[in-house]
Chains A and B, each alone.
Chain A
Amino acid sequence: MNISTAQVLLPLLIMGLGIIVLMLQIAIKRNASITVALSALVLGCTAWAAVKGITAGSVEATALLIVDGYGQLMTVVITLAALVTLLVSHRWLAVEQLERGEYAMLLLLASFGAVVLVHAQHFAAFLLGLEILGVSVYSLVAYPGKSPAPIEAGLKYLVLSSASTAILLFGFALLYAASGSLAFEGMAGRLAASSGVLVAGASLMIFTGLGFKLSLVPFHMWTPDVYEGAPTPVTGFLATVSKVAIFAALLRWYESANLGAIAPLTQVLGCLAIASMLVGNLLALKQNNVKRLLGYSSIAHMGYLLIALVVLGGVVPTGMASEAALWYLIAYTASTLAAFTALSALASRGWAAEACNLDDLRGLFWREPLLALGLSVSLLSLAGVPLTAGFMGKFYLVATGVEAGAWTLLMALVVGSAISTFYYLRIIYTLSSGAGEALACVNGDRSLSDALMIALLAAVLLLGIYPEPIMGVLASVL
């Protein structure tokens, strides 16, 4: 490895090194503040290095990893999301008296897995990243360890996720049998030359495995339970970083293997997309727990996102599909993270129980205006109301769909969004309605969560009002 490769690999190196330093720090002297500060520093530096790297062009670091603008951009998204999660958790950990350094450690490891995933150009790296991410997230989900709910959620996630990884591995094996290599590069040519049945079977198995992780219908059963049981900041992390990284890696493989040309596969994906949009939104209607509700809504959002994948490299060529997918990922991350940040700040300030029932939110508009505003705007963004990041995302997806003439998918999107308006508005209505029984408000330092909320709110609105700069970045990395 020479110096220039090392320079390009800087984000990965900083992160790996940072994790080791963090481990040593925890071993030498346990101190929550130092751990958090150190982890924040590592994440910040990684994000900074990745921002620098976006324009550096594409370099094959090893046979496993490719470092390019696309990967660096997703690294920025992942590390920033992890940073937000870390800072949000800080307060929650203090309230729950769980301030042991392992939490930050696991969070960093999970992000490291996610970063490896988005740089993967070989299925070996893909699996490594996926497992580093997955194993850390199981532990994070079950981290509190005091009440049964997180443990149940962690166990559920562990079992189903391992099963899905097994299916995924079987898919990899079939792919290897079909094409003789697991590298992404040149896969399109090798696949075209090999047996169609084997390739279709392999890709279907891989999609089944990833469908679990992305919680697409019909592999979505675990989602609401895990979302509800996991600590709120971890749910936010699970909903954003883990899905974004997996989708970004999937997109890279999908494009380089030109899977859009395999008609049966795109048909199946289309069905998955429609089922996710409709089932996710319909099941969200009846939820009284906000975390469960957001779990179902994330199923629907993954369905929307799948539209970009289905039309990518389809019959009518569309140049915008991957741009649309990336924008949607960024918008979804910002909005979802804002929602969970608000929920978790509300919980640690004592307004809502950890489980976050809808009734706990009653009348909070008048007591916690900033958090309620943040939650409302993020929900409006998820619902796709203009001037928010989510609207531009929907705009991108619909434009792509229209270009490709995917009318069935678009109609499902319209119907799904119309349904989703109902449950998002229900939360906003509850926030603005008269005050109910107030839980005791824990007084404590609120400046950190306020600052985070303002930053995320600004991000969601800026992406919606002035999207041009990020659109420019997207155009440059694709």
Chain B
Amino acid sequence: MVGPSRSLKEPIEGDFIAVACMVSAVLLALALRIPGLGAEPLAYREALGALAAREIAGEGVGPSLAGGLADSALLTTLQQLTFFLFGASSDLLARMVTALVGSGLVLVPWLLRSRIGTPTTVALSFLLATDPWLVYFSRQAEGSVLAAAAAIVCFALGARWASGPLAAPDAPRSVVTGLAIGVLLVSGRSGWDFLPPVLAGFALLHPASASRAGGGLSWRRIGGAAAALALVAATSGLTQWRGPSQVSASLGDWLRQWSAGLESVPLGELGLLFGRYQLVALGVGVLGILAMARAARASSPSARVSAWSRDQLVIWVLWGTALVLRPGRSLAGLLALQIPLLILAAHGVGWLFEAHRRLPRGVGGLARVAPVLLVAVSLYGSLRLQRSVWSDPPTALRGGRTLEDVRRMASDVSVLLGLPRESRPIFQAAAPLQADPVLAWYLRDLEEVQWVALPSLTPPTSAGLLVATIEASNLGAEPPSLGSEQYPLRYRQSELEVVRLRRVSVGYSDP
């Protein structure tokens, strides 16, 4: 790491500018994450988790869902608490947890201030606040950002541990480390994107610590493990899943991504998305590695932590590259490459900032504003990415996300069901096998919904309203209907799925 601007033991107090910068970073992060948070409808996986959380929070029992369990037990737990506290559920509340975690993440670099120096700390905070992909995933109700946050906390703890005088962290830090690893374990599939490099980082620390402390089991380590287990157990209990086996279930899903290409994003498309928004960070990140390598060779007190950080981040970058190249690559996998690059980029600009006095006047001036330039580029990329979510045609970014029309459908259905009882239709939501989570989420407050299999809609006894998603069915025959209304639901592969509402006024004959 870049050498600290002051001695390690020097107290850091009253640095008003640094504090002001951190507060600004948090506010910027919130500004990028909260506005319009509930504007886009929940996607398939988001709806799955939100429905589970709503059900557990006691807001009603939903239909059985085809997609099975939600991905992240931790997110479901936190969503459940949110719904419980607010006494209601909505798209905005479903995404609130990840938006707040994504914003709070900005503060983590403060833990490292004494090790990496104020300029790097501030640069890293701003980068975390404005990074396009972090902002994007903070605005989704998925476990990715929770995992990313836990990984960054683990990095910070590791860096403190590497620079500390003790072999192993003290008991409270062990517990925090355990909790961070616990968060990775219960973040769903994304947690496994980060766990191997995080564990490798701790393993890099181990030989030195073992020689200092004699290795073996200690109460500190047991405390850390107990904290991780407690978190796993608590989320398992609160989400009423099948105990800690959720961890192995998410590992199984994650491992399948290495070979299965069902949700795979084409490599070219992923490369394009990465290049469009992250190329500058990548370039500055290379500078960061060079800066770290240089600092590791120096005889300063921070050389040890610099060496550890360099090794850890190189491992992390290589791992992230492997994730991006795997056959079942996903958009969320980008984050595993993204986070170490951000840390490296922050070090790169931090180093430039520190070195500006030693550089020629013109270059030195440019170096001084380098952090600002990088953050500006990041902010611009972030705004561009969020806008493209709304405007671009179906791509890796857009594919699978729910289209706005689903709300119109829900609203139309609500109006129809609000009619006087005598003219109120029977409402049946048809699905090929089991309820679609997106439909189930947007129709969650309508008690009259009957979920039925697609080819056997019940003959209505009065005027009826039927809802069907268009999906592959082995049955060609469809019940006769009078009139229909179509609502685009989402793109899946190359097909557009559409919800159709059919008004039926007479019964149909049995097949």
Question: A and B: partners?
Answer: no
Q: Interface of A with B (CB < 8 Å)?
A: none
